[in-house]
């Protein structure tokens, strides 16, 4: 399985040479900072035990914070996202903003009105402390990086908010993995003295399910079974010698859950790739499509971060030590927007419906219609944009 992923060529014909895949796509000290800012937020005791020292958070801000610190919006990224929610690709940023149509002047999250904060998550690979960062001994943490939970990640973001002078969030919005943290923020923020007035939980869940854990399992194995992973110690490997094959396979597995069966059938069916004959040594077009996405991620992400963040998602259970999921959801005081994608097979609408049913301030369940599956939250801006704009404006009026 891992060996077959060495042909990560995407939609490019196999005869066309491509630059070797880097050992890691992580941002490292000395790389261009781009639009990132950095905050030293101290050391943290982790839920699983142990102390993570000297944590740094990479983040980006858009707009200006009012004098009273009350016009702030927190945007939380998904698994392979980062702090670059809007703006072009360039030095320090391998790709353009991942929610470009949602955040900016005049957009649904209007940066002429709101001070928008987007942190890179703890354990990530784009500037926040993670496996590619230097440990106390000066070497990259690598496979020694401790396991972190969703609550650990939010605890770090709480300290960032304090440093930025944010006293309350008009909105905390997250989709997919970002939605897990948004839900935790709705409870942990007020406990830390930071009000969460509005919450938007998009294509997410209050508790990762056995099905989600099952989909994650082969992804984790694909990376760890790649001999070039080397127990997480690969940062000094030359280009082409990192665990890109395992990371590519992990991404291919994940990507099938991000899209719908209907879309894959409609786009690709049983079409061969180019003029290749699948009955001999060729491939089907959908296989090339998955190879392309595996290769693309391996060039901009880090295999160890993929492990750490995926395992953090598996810890997510809003009801843990809070009397169960329903009891925890009933403690959320924020006005709450819950959005699901009708074709989502990773975070199916029933999981969003559970959130909407138990949060006292939830305004029902909003459904996005899309053939694109889970990735609909990154694509269907004509539907999601007006929903978020209306909700954020209503939250402001309630104040």
Look at residue 395 in the predicted model and tell me its pLDDT. Answer: 64
| Residue 167 three-state SS | coil
pLDDT at residue 280 in the model? 82
pLDDT tens sequence across 132-172: 999 999 999 999 999 999 999 999 999 999 999 999 999 99
Q: Is the pLDDT of residue 306 over 80?
A: yes
Distances (CA, A) of 200 to 151, 306, 379: 18, 25, 17
- Identical topology for domains 3-7+212-311 and 37-209+318-398: no
Listed by start position, the domains of the chain span 3-7+212-311, 37-209+318-398
Confidence of residue 13 (pLDDT cuts 50, 70, 90): very low
Q: Which residues participate in catalysis according to the annotation?
A: 176, 344, 374
Statement: residue 5 has pLDDT above 80 = no
Residue 36: which residues within 8 A CB-CB, separation 6 or more? 27, 58, 59, 60, 83, 84, 92, 120, 126, 127
What pLDDT score does 356 carry? 98
Angle at 156 between CA 96 and CA 118, to 5 degrees: 25
Q: Is the pLDDT of residue 28 over 70?
A: yes
239 Cβ contact list (under 8 Å, min separation 6): 19, 20, 21, 22, 23
Architecture (CATH level 2) of domain 3-7+212-311: Orthogonal Bundle (1.10)
pLDDT, average across residues 60-84:
96
- Please, which residues have CB within 8 angstroms of residue 271's CB and are 6 or more apart in sequence? 284, 285, 286
As to burial, measured by CB atoms within 10 angstroms (0-12 exposed, 13-18 middle, 19+ buried), residue 364 is exposed
**What CATH number does the domain located at 37-209+318-398 have?**
3.40.50.1820
For 96-130, what is each residue's pLDDT tens digit? 999 999 999 999 999 999 999 999 999 999 999 99
Main-chain phi, psi angles of 339, to 5 degrees? -130, 135
């Amino acid at each position: 399985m891992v060996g077959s992923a060495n042909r990560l060529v995407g939609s490019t014909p196999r005869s066309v040479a491509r630059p070797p895949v880097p050992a890691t796509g992580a941002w490292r000290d000395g790389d261009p900072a781009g639009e990132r800012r950095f905050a030293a937020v101290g050391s943290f005791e982790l839920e699983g035990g142990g102390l993570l020292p000297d944590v740094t958070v990479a983040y980006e801000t858009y707009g200006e914070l009012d004098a009273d610190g009350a016009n702030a919006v927190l945007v939380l990224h998904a698994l392979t996202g980062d702090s670059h929610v809007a703006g072009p690709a360039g030095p320090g940023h391998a790709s353009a903003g991942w929610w470009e149509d949602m955040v900016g002047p005049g957009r649904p999250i209007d940066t002429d009105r709101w001070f928008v904060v987007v942190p890179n998550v703890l354990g990530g690979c784009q500037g926040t402390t993670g496996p590619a960062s230097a440990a106390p001994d000066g070497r990259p943490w690598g496979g020694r990086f401790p396991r972190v939970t969703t609550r650990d990640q939010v605890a770090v973001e709480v300290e960032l908010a304090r440093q930025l002078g944010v006293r309350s969030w008009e909105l905390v919005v997250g989709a997919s993995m970002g939605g897990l943290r948004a839900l935790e923020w709705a409870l942990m923020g007020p406990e830390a003295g930071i009000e969460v007035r509005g919450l938007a939980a998009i294509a997410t869940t209050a508790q990762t399910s056995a099905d989600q854990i099952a989909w994650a399992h082969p992804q984790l194995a694909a990376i760890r079974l790649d001999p070039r992973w080397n127990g997480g110690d690969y940062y000094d490997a030359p280009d082409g010698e990192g665990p890109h094959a395992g990371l590519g396979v992990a991404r291919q597995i994940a990507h099938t859950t991000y899209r719908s069966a209907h879309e894959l059938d409609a786009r690709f069916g049983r079409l061969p790739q180019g003029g290749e004959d699948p009955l001999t040594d060729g491939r089907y077009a959908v296989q090339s499509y998955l190879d392309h996405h595996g290769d693309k991620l391996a060039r901009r992400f880090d295999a160890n971060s993929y492990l750490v963040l995926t395992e953090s998602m598996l810890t997510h259970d809003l009801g843990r030590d809070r009397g169960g999921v329903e009891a925890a959801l009933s403690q959320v005081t924020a006005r709450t927007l819950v959005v699901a994608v009708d074709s989502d097979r990773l975070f199916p609408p029933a999981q969003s419906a559970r959130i909407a049913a138990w949060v006292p301030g939830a305004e029902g369940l909003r459904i996005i219609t899309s053939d694109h599956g889970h990735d609909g939250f990154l694509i269907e801006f004509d539907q999601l944009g007006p929903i978020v704009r209306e909700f954020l404006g209503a939250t402001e009026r309630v104040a």
